[in-house]
Amino acid sequence: MQRGKKLVIVSHCVLNQNCVVKPYGKNQNFFYNFIKNFLLNNYGFIQLPCPELEILGLKRWGHVKDQLEYSNYKENCKKLLFPIINQIEDYLKNDYKISGVYGIQGSPSCGINKTCRGDWEGEASSYKSLEEISNKVKLVDEKGIFMEIFEELLKEKEIYLKFYDIDDWSENID
């Protein structure tokens, strides 16, 4: 068997849209060209766990980064990432190339260049309308909380990878 010894790290939902909060799940074909191009170039995938699914479950409400920036969420993200960090270290020690980490633009957890923020709290019914709440949501130029933690943990191990939003991928991957 010919190993490509090339890997790409992807957010969980790139390979499994079933985990995405309703109604934002896409048809899996949305990622087809992305996945196909890496496969055709003999890349393997490291699929990150979905922290929102693991910590908040399938029936969760949509969140913004502000709601996830609390100690317990961050600690659970670290626990989810430790086995991934160990895999990455092992691959790198064995001369594998990791071409980057691909996240999901706008995600409060897995955004790379953009994430969503919103200043609200409490019961949704305490607001005049859903529009009042949605008007508080803004896309900002920063990583989601899970990707921030992932990058910090990698740096602690002196591992420096490139981070991309899935929207930024190119078919020119080698």
pLDDT tens per residue across span 83-131: 999 999 999 999 999 999 999 999 999 999 999 998 877 777 777 777 7
Query: How confident is residue 170, by pLDDT bands cut at 50, 70 and 90?
Result: low
**CA distances for 66 relative to 85, 118, 130, 140, 157, angstroms:** 25, 6, 18, 12, 27
What's the pLDDT score for residue 23? 76
Q: What is the pLDDT of residue 38?
A: 93
DSSP 92-138: HHTT-EEEEEEE-TB-TTT-SS-EEEE---S-GGGSS-HHHHHTTEE
Confidence of residue 174 (pLDDT cuts 50, 70, 90): very low
Cβ partners under 8 Å of residue 156, min gap 6: none
When pLDDT is averaged across residues 153-161 and rounded to a whole number, the result is 97
**Chain segment 48-87, per-residue pLDDT in tens:** 999 999 999 888 888 899 999 999 999 999 999 999 999 9
